[in-house]
Structure 1
Amino acid sequence: MFPQNGQPAYSPGRLALITILQFLEGLSDRQAADAVRGRIDWKYACALELTDAGFDASVLCEFRARLLEGKQEAVLLTTLLTRLCMEGLLAGRGKQRTDSTHVLAAITMLNRLECLGETLRQALNVLATEAPDWLSAWLPSAWAERYVHRFEEYCLPAKKDEQYALASLIGADGLHILTHIDQQTEWQ
């Protein structure tokens, strides 16, 4: 599943732990990578030096892709749950949800939401630079609050229906922008 030559910056075991922490806290890849770089609790949980520089967020996406490609996603959670039971951190009598596809899908959805929101925010930034008067003439005031900050700084919704609602809202906002661009005759 991982190359034998060369030494990866982060072991698969550590990336698995980071993936679990990411899921538990409902973080996107970028937010999880920031947590590894900047949060002492994550550094201790991952057995990292406090000075560890972390890694790029794309490493987590690549790790999940390798898990799925190697059909190892179920092994990840089963191994973790077994180890937690051995350490006495989970009661052996209780039923534990070990659906790894649920974990990976939840993380993927958060990443897609972040990308979607950040794409629209970036488009608005370009329009604000290139055509500020045109943009301010029709820009809904609610958008200033919604798109002023980077989406990685947001606490993205945890519930699936709220995630879909946010995705629909961003999509509708994008369509609103495209409609105004199509109606613009000065640029043609």
Structure 2
Amino acid sequence: MWMRYRLQELFIDEDFAEWFPADGRRGVSPARLAMVAVLQYAENLTNRQTARMMACRIDWKYCLGMELDESGFDFSALSEFRDRLARDDRADRLLTLMVDRRVTTPVTAKPT
């Protein structure tokens, strides 16, 4: 609950729009991929372990805003996301965005 409460607006899909093709195919939310990468790093998990966590852990589903019956996405989406992150100066831009958002949007209320 704490992670969702504190980080729910840290990533938004528009931040990643230029990273993904605009050919009309439905894909995984880039903001969700970014949040999953944070959770993966925090728990030191492989891509396959991370995909299993999304499929079965209620706390992860809550943090990611998923429905209880939602299974998540294939583990390969994580490595594809990291490949996109490694291009150009995207990692630096993402870090700057994260720092700016956390500084300009202080937490004022606590979850009930």
TM-score between the two structures when normalised by the length of structure 1:
0.43
Name which structure has the greater RCO, CA cutoff 8 Å, separation 6+: 2
Write the deviation string for residues 62-120 of structure 1: whole angstroms up to 9, x where unpaired: 0100111243112223323333341429xxxxxxxxxxxxxxxxxxxxxxxxxxxxxxx
Separation of aligned partners in 2, 1:88 and 1:63? 28
2:83 is aligned to 65
Structure 2 portions without partners, runs of 5+: 1-18
Deviation sequence 1:28-53 (CA, Å, 0-9, x none): 11111111111111111111111112
Residue type matched to 2:95 in 1?
L
2:35 to 17, 41, 61: 17
Amino acid at match of 1:10: V
> Are 1:79 and 2:76 counterparts?
no
Q: Which residue of 2 aligns with 1:88?
A: 107
Q: 1:27 aligns with which of 24, 33, 45?
A: 45
Match of 2:68 in 1: 50
Q: Name the CA shift for 1:88/1:24 in 2 (closer, same or farther; >3 Å).
A: same
Report the secondary structure of 1:63's partner residue: helix
Partner amino acid for 2:69? T
CA-based RMSD of the aligned residues comes to 1.9
Query: TM-score scaled by structure 2?
Result: 0.69
